[in-house]
Amino acid sequence: MALAGCGGDDKSKETLPSAPDTIDFTTPNFKDGAAIPKEFTCDGEGKKPTLAYRQLPAGAIELVLVVEDPDAPDGTFTHWTAWGIAAAPGGGLAPDGQFPAGVKEGKNSAGKVGWTPPCPPKGDKPHRYVFSVYALHTPIFIKRGADPDAVIGVLDGAVARGQTVGRFGR
Protein backbone atom coordinates (compact mmCIF):
# COMPACT_ATOMS: atom_id res chain seq x y z
CA MET A 1 0.00 0.00 0.00
CA ALA A 2 2.86 2.41 0.79
CA LEU A 3 4.29 1.94 -2.68
CA ALA A 4 1.15 3.17 -4.38
CA GLY A 5 1.45 6.69 -3.03
CA CYS A 6 5.08 7.47 -3.76
CA GLY A 7 5.64 8.16 -7.46
CA GLY A 8 5.45 11.18 -9.72
CA ASP A 9 7.27 14.26 -10.99
CA ASP A 10 8.29 17.72 -9.82
CA LYS A 11 5.06 19.41 -11.04
CA SER A 12 3.12 19.01 -7.79
CA LYS A 13 2.44 21.91 -5.43
CA GLU A 14 3.31 22.13 -1.79
CA THR A 15 0.20 21.41 0.28
CA LEU A 16 1.35 22.84 3.62
CA PRO A 17 0.55 26.35 4.82
CA SER A 18 3.25 28.97 4.73
CA ALA A 19 4.86 30.48 7.81
CA PRO A 20 8.04 32.48 8.35
CA ASP A 21 11.00 30.18 7.61
CA THR A 22 12.94 31.02 10.75
CA ILE A 23 13.43 27.62 12.43
CA ASP A 24 16.79 25.97 11.76
CA PHE A 25 15.60 22.42 10.98
CA THR A 26 18.13 19.80 9.89
CA THR A 27 19.16 16.18 10.03
CA PRO A 28 22.73 14.93 10.34
CA ASN A 29 21.74 11.97 8.17
CA PHE A 30 21.66 13.92 4.87
CA LYS A 31 22.16 17.46 3.63
CA ASP A 32 19.24 19.62 2.54
CA GLY A 33 18.44 18.73 -1.09
CA ALA A 34 20.69 15.65 -1.09
CA ALA A 35 19.94 11.96 -1.44
CA ILE A 36 18.43 10.15 1.53
CA PRO A 37 20.69 7.22 2.49
CA LYS A 38 19.28 3.75 1.77
CA GLU A 39 19.01 2.80 5.46
CA PHE A 40 16.18 5.37 5.86
CA THR A 41 14.15 4.01 2.90
CA CYS A 42 12.10 0.95 2.00
CA ASP A 43 15.17 -0.45 0.22
CA GLY A 44 17.02 -0.42 3.55
CA GLU A 45 15.93 -0.65 7.16
CA GLY A 46 13.33 2.13 6.90
CA LYS A 47 14.84 3.92 9.92
CA LYS A 48 13.62 7.32 11.07
CA PRO A 49 16.23 10.06 10.62
CA THR A 50 17.54 12.11 13.51
CA LEU A 51 15.93 15.56 13.56
CA ALA A 52 17.39 18.75 15.04
CA TYR A 53 15.52 22.04 15.47
CA ARG A 54 16.91 25.36 16.71
CA GLN A 55 16.04 29.05 16.69
CA LEU A 56 12.48 28.53 17.85
CA PRO A 57 10.44 31.73 18.12
CA ALA A 58 9.77 33.33 21.49
CA GLY A 59 6.43 32.27 22.89
CA ALA A 60 6.26 29.03 20.90
CA ILE A 61 4.60 26.29 22.93
CA GLU A 62 4.31 23.32 20.61
CA LEU A 63 5.90 21.97 17.45
CA VAL A 64 4.24 19.90 14.74
CA LEU A 65 6.15 17.69 12.30
CA VAL A 66 4.88 16.81 8.82
CA VAL A 67 6.84 14.79 6.23
CA GLU A 68 5.44 14.69 2.69
CA ASP A 69 6.30 13.45 -0.80
CA PRO A 70 4.78 16.09 -3.11
CA ASP A 71 5.86 14.06 -6.17
CA ALA A 72 3.53 11.10 -5.56
CA PRO A 73 1.48 10.13 -8.64
CA ASP A 74 -1.89 10.30 -6.88
CA GLY A 75 -1.15 13.56 -5.08
CA THR A 76 0.93 14.40 -2.05
CA PHE A 77 1.73 11.39 0.14
CA THR A 78 2.14 12.08 3.87
CA HIS A 79 4.88 9.90 5.38
CA TRP A 80 4.75 11.08 8.99
CA THR A 81 2.99 13.48 11.33
CA ALA A 82 3.83 14.16 14.99
CA TRP A 83 2.68 16.84 17.43
CA GLY A 84 2.83 17.73 21.08
CA ILE A 85 6.58 18.33 20.67
CA ALA A 86 7.63 20.78 23.38
CA ALA A 87 9.10 24.00 21.99
CA ALA A 88 12.00 24.12 24.43
CA PRO A 89 14.09 27.31 24.49
CA GLY A 90 17.16 26.76 22.35
CA GLY A 91 15.59 23.91 20.37
CA GLY A 92 15.65 20.16 20.52
CA LEU A 93 16.79 16.87 19.08
CA ALA A 94 14.94 13.69 18.15
CA PRO A 95 17.68 11.04 17.91
CA ASP A 96 16.69 8.39 15.37
CA GLY A 97 13.33 10.14 15.06
CA GLN A 98 12.45 9.37 18.69
CA PHE A 99 10.67 12.21 20.46
CA PRO A 100 10.18 12.45 24.24
CA ALA A 101 7.24 10.73 25.90
CA GLY A 102 3.91 12.44 25.30
CA VAL A 103 4.48 13.24 21.62
CA LYS A 104 1.64 11.90 19.46
CA GLU A 105 1.88 10.49 15.95
CA GLY A 106 -0.83 10.43 13.33
CA LYS A 107 -1.72 8.19 10.43
CA ASN A 108 0.29 8.50 7.28
CA SER A 109 -1.13 8.16 3.77
CA ALA A 110 -0.58 4.38 3.98
CA GLY A 111 -3.11 4.34 6.86
CA LYS A 112 -0.53 3.39 9.49
CA VAL A 113 0.35 5.40 12.58
CA GLY A 114 3.91 6.74 12.52
CA TRP A 115 6.69 6.77 9.95
CA THR A 116 6.48 5.23 6.49
CA PRO A 117 9.90 5.38 4.79
CA PRO A 118 10.43 6.78 1.29
CA CYS A 119 9.54 4.20 -1.35
CA PRO A 120 8.82 5.69 -4.78
CA PRO A 121 7.97 3.37 -7.67
CA LYS A 122 10.98 1.90 -9.42
CA GLY A 123 11.86 3.88 -12.53
CA ASP A 124 10.47 7.21 -11.29
CA LYS A 125 12.75 10.21 -11.07
CA PRO A 126 13.93 10.77 -7.49
CA HIS A 127 11.15 12.15 -5.33
CA ARG A 128 11.40 15.04 -2.88
CA TYR A 129 10.69 14.27 0.76
CA VAL A 130 9.85 17.53 2.52
CA PHE A 131 10.43 17.45 6.29
CA SER A 132 8.65 20.43 7.91
CA VAL A 133 8.40 21.53 11.52
CA TYR A 134 5.94 24.23 12.56
CA ALA A 135 5.89 26.29 15.77
CA LEU A 136 2.56 27.16 17.38
CA HIS A 137 1.74 29.61 20.18
CA THR A 138 -1.11 27.44 21.42
CA PRO A 139 -1.28 23.72 22.15
CA ILE A 140 -3.36 21.49 19.92
CA PHE A 141 -5.65 18.76 21.12
CA ILE A 142 -5.77 16.05 18.50
CA LYS A 143 -5.90 12.38 19.44
CA ARG A 144 -3.11 10.00 18.49
CA GLY A 145 -3.72 8.37 15.10
CA ALA A 146 -5.38 11.41 13.51
CA ASP A 147 -5.53 11.62 9.73
CA PRO A 148 -2.96 13.85 7.98
CA ASP A 149 -5.64 16.40 7.02
CA ALA A 150 -6.56 16.92 10.69
CA VAL A 151 -2.93 17.57 11.61
CA ILE A 152 -2.27 19.85 8.64
CA GLY A 153 -5.50 21.70 9.44
CA VAL A 154 -4.05 23.07 12.71
CA LEU A 155 -1.02 24.61 10.99
CA ASP A 156 -2.78 27.76 9.78
CA GLY A 157 -1.56 30.52 12.03
CA ALA A 158 1.78 28.87 12.78
CA VAL A 159 4.33 31.46 13.88
CA ALA A 160 7.35 29.82 12.23
CA ARG A 161 8.52 26.79 10.33
CA GLY A 162 11.66 25.06 9.23
CA GLN A 163 12.11 22.68 6.33
CA THR A 164 14.69 20.30 4.98
CA VAL A 165 14.34 18.20 1.85
CA GLY A 166 15.78 14.81 0.98
CA ARG A 167 15.58 13.00 -2.35
CA PHE A 168 15.22 9.32 -3.09
CA GLY A 169 14.70 7.31 -6.25
CA ARG A 170 14.81 3.60 -7.01
User: What is the pLDDT averaged over residues 150-163?
Assistant: 95
pLDDT in tens, 95-119: 999 999 999 999 999 999 999 999 9
Mean of all residue pLDDT scores within the chain:
91
User: What is the pLDDT averaged over residues 27-53?
Assistant: 97
User: What is the pLDDT averaged over residues 139-152?
Assistant: 96
User: What is the pLDDT averaged over residues 113-135?
Assistant: 97
Residue 11 has pLDDT above 70, yes or no: no
Q: What values do phi and psi take at 153, rounded to 5? A: -65, -25
Secondary structure of the chain in HEC code, one letter for each residue = CHHHHCCCCCCCCCCCCCCCECCEEECCCCCCCCECCHHHCCCCCCCCCCEEEECCCCCCCEEEEEEEECCCCCCCEEEEEEEEEECCCCCEEEHHHCCCCCCEECECCCCCECCCCCCCCCCCCCEEEEEEEEEECCCCCCCCCCCHHHHHHCCCCCCEEEEEEEEECC
pLDDT in tens, 42-58: 999 999 999 999 999 99
Return the pLDDT at 14. 62
pLDDT in tens, 54-85: 999 999 999 999 999 999 999 999 999 999 99
Domains defined for the chain, CATH in brackets: 2-158 (3.90.280.10)
What CA–CA distance (Å, rounded) separates 126 from 166? 10
Residue 6 has pLDDT above 50, yes or no: no
